[in-house]
Amino acid sequence: MQTNNKHPLQYDAVLTVPFGAVGIAVQGVQVVIELLTEKHEPKPAQQKMAEKVALQIEAYFSNAYNDFNLPIVYKGTPFQRRVWQAVGAIPCGRVLTYGEIAEQIGSGPRAVANACGANHLPLVIPCHRVVSKNGLGGYMRGKADGLKIKQWLLKHEGISLEKSKPLWQK
């Protein structure tokens, strides 16, 4: 499932969330989640997998410590899947730097950042919990308001955004 300007994703569900909306597209066992800053009409899930994903996303927004447990196929290169597995192990309320993830998997910070940018399951694979050594880093491949969403998600999870200490220290 690819999204581009000519053929936007057709969402099977759209949830209204504090920063905008979350779009969910399902094709078999492949799921794509998009964090959307612009207004979208809510769309209830009409099929089982979209409903399952929507319920777990709603649970996350009610309580950031709710875990995701979805039977999803993770589409990506072997390297991307290694990065996503490491990112998925970061507990709610904590962050790691791109460099720390890179060290764990024997790679470089930029490669980790690129794999995070290719993540088609934000929230489920919490790439917002990966920051640069000097601050937030990037999010959503530089999309408008991406960093605002990242800040909102980190604050939702109780991560301190104080300027006086590094972001990853509580």
| 127 included as an active-site residue | yes
The catalytic position among 127, 130, 131, 153 is: 127
Supply φ then ψ for residue 51, to 5 degrees. -65, -40
Residue 128 tokens, joined: 């917002």
Q: What is the separation of C-alpha 44 from the centre of its chain, rounded to a whole number of angstroms?
A: 21
User: How far apart are alpha carbons 104 and 101 in whole angstroms?
Assistant: 5
Distance in angstroms (rounded) separating the CA atoms of residues 110 and 33 = 23
Contacts of 76 (CB under 8 A, 6+ apart): 84, 115, 118, 120
**42: Cβ–Cβ under 8 A, 6 or more apart, which residues?**
14, 15, 16, 21
Q: Which residues are identified as catalytic?
A: 127
